[in-house]
Structure 1
Amino acid sequence: MKNVMLIIKEQFDNIGIIRRVSKYEERATYQSHYLGLMWQFLNPLIQIGIYYLIFGIGVNGGRNVNGVPFIVWMLIGIIVWFFVNSSLLGGSNSIYHKVGMVSKMKFPVSILPSINMMSNIVSYWWMMVILMGVMFFFGVYPTIFWFQYIYYFICMIMFLFAMGILNSTITILIRDYHIMLQSILRLLFYISGPIWDVETRSFPDWLVNLFQINPIYYFIDGFRDTFLSRQWFWEKPTLSLIFWGIISIILILGSHIHMKFRARFVDYI
């Protein structure tokens, strides 16, 4: 736990650096493009249109999901998935790409996954604005359930933070890990619930229960519980305990490996 507390302290001590560097990386990524930062909004919007045509109209036939228009149901999950996917992939490579720079500057390498996550969150907020507009258009309005958005947002950030520390460290030690992570995420896209409801599919009960243990499924389904006013997070205590247990294990393991090897990151590269 000592390593976990140290790494968390480093995030808070360097919050100003995280914000400034993330803004710089946003501009640097799109500075040579005519539309610039607008691509943070346009790129996921185009992908959403493609997924809706394939899964909403093609596979689902435009039918509602539990009485909710498919586009609303899908947007809640797919927006979260875009943010999670880009943060996991970018976070896993964050130390590898920047360790040379960090070795010449005075800030801890543990903040690099957080910088990547912060740079991705701008696109996430833009897409959330679109989601609000679509929900209001289809008559989905705020209720008291929406207050628990804060809880599930914290769940998502803690998951990405824990995975960022673990993935970025393993990528330094085993370079093939990043390629393997890309393949794993392609699989997780179909079993984490962003584009279809695994509970209504013809899967065996034991397989559905296994899918629900997936941390990404937990907070995607939680965001749907929130915006669609279905239930409170404390109404599923077992899944909540499993989620926080998995996050704790990942964070402890990732912090331990990170602190053990980070003095030699440059040597491994």
Structure 2
Amino acid sequence: MNDVKTIILEQVNNFGIIRRISKYEEKATYQSHYLGLIWQFLNPAIQIGIYYLVFGLGVNQGKKTDGVPFIIWMLIGITAWFFINSSILGGSNSIYKQVGMVSKMKFPVSILPMVNISSNFVSYRAMMLVLLASMFGFGIYPTIYWLQYFYYFFCMIAFLFAFGILNSTITVLVRDYHIMLQSILRLLFYLSGPIWNFRTMFQGTEHRWIIKVLELNPIYYIIDGFRDSFLSKQWFWEKGTQTVFFWLIVGFLMIIGSHVHMKFRARFVDFI
């Protein structure tokens, strides 16, 4: 637990550095492009359009899902997924890419996964504005359930940070891990609920166990939680088993990730 405490304190004590580096990375990534930071919004917008044509109009034939237009239902899930996906992939590669710079400067490498998460907020905020505008356009307005959005947002950041500490360390030790993670995330896209409504797909009692298994996926828990909030379905404490299991996973990832990180970080440069 001392390793976990050390890692968390490093984030708190270096909060200003995290913000400054993340802002620099946002500008540096697209500075050579004509449209600049607009690409952080334009790129996912194009993908959303493709997914809606294929799954909304094609597979789902324009039908409503959970009582709302499919585009709204999908936007809630896909907005969270894009942020989660980019943060996991970017976080896993964050130390490997920057360890040379960090070795010459005085700040802990443990903040680099959080730097990556922070730099992804620009596109996430833009997509959230589009989501809110779309919901208002379809007559979906705030209710008391929307307050739990902040809980699920905290869940998302906690999971991404805990997973990022572990992933970024393993990527330095085993370079092939980052490539394997990309393949796993492609599979998780279809198993985490951004575009599929599994409750509708497996309505029969015979296949009910499939939903129970999928609900153990922490990414599914987050995405489904955002839908519970914005579509005013249920409170997070009504999903007691899922909630407990989710925080057990986050705690496990944080403990293992912090321990491995502290054990090897003094030798990161040697491994690279």
2:197 is equivalent to residue 194 of structure 1: no
Residues 195-210 of structure 1 aligned to structure 2 (within 5 Å): 195-202=195-202, 204-210=207-213
1:222 to 215, 220, 225: 225
Deviating beyond 4 angstroms after TM superposition, the runs of 4 or more aligned structure 1 residues are: none
Q: Residue in 1 aligned with 2:11? A: 11
Q: Residue in 2 aligned with 1:242? A: 245
Cα offsets for 1:242-263 (capped at 9, x unmatched): 0000100000000000000000
DSSP-derived class of the 2:61 partner: coil
Counterpart-to-counterpart distance in 2, 1:73 and 1:195: 8
Q: Residue in 1 aligned with 2:215? A: 212
Cα offsets for 1:25-74 (capped at 9, x unmatched): 00000000001111111111111111101110111101001211000000
Counterpart-to-counterpart distance in 1, 2:96 and 2:208: 41
Cα offsets for 1:62-89 (capped at 9, x unmatched): 1001211000000000000000000000
Cα offsets for 1:84-136 (capped at 9, x unmatched): 00000000000000001000000000000000110001100100000000000
Q: Residue in 2 aligned with 1:69? A: 69
Cα offsets for 1:187-246 (capped at 9, x unmatched): 100010000111111382222111000000001000000000000001111110000001
Q: Residue in 1 aligned with 2:259? A: 256
- Structure 1 unmatched ranges of 5 or more: none
Q: Residue in 2 aligned with 1:81? A: 81
Residues 86-235 of structure 1 aligned to structure 2 (within 5 Å): 86-202=86-202, 204-235=207-238
User: How many residue pairs were aligned?
Assistant: 269
- TM-score normalized by structure 2? 0.98
Tell me if the contact between 2:202 and 2:210 (Cα under 8 Å) persists in the aligned partners.
no
- Structure 2 unmatched ranges of 5 or more: none
Q: Residue in 2 aligned with 1:26? A: 26
DSSP-derived class of the 1:213 partner: coil
Counterpart-to-counterpart distance in 2, 1:14 and 1:235: 36
Aligned Cα root-mean-square deviation (Å): 0.8
Moved more, 198-207 or 127-136: 198-207
2:41 is equivalent to residue 38 of structure 1: no
| One-letter identity of the residue aligned with 1:224 | R
Identity of aligned pairs, percent? 70
Tell me if the contact between 2:89 and 2:182 (Cα under 8 Å) persists in the aligned partners.
yes
Counterpart-to-counterpart distance in 2, 1:55 and 1:145: 27
Counterpart-to-counterpart distance in 1, 2:163 and 2:185: 13
| One-letter identity of the residue aligned with 2:131 | L
| One-letter identity of the residue aligned with 2:262 | M
DSSP-derived class of the 2:93 partner: helix
Counterpart-to-counterpart distance in 2, 1:187 and 1:208: 16
Counterpart-to-counterpart distance in 1, 2:208 and 2:186: 23
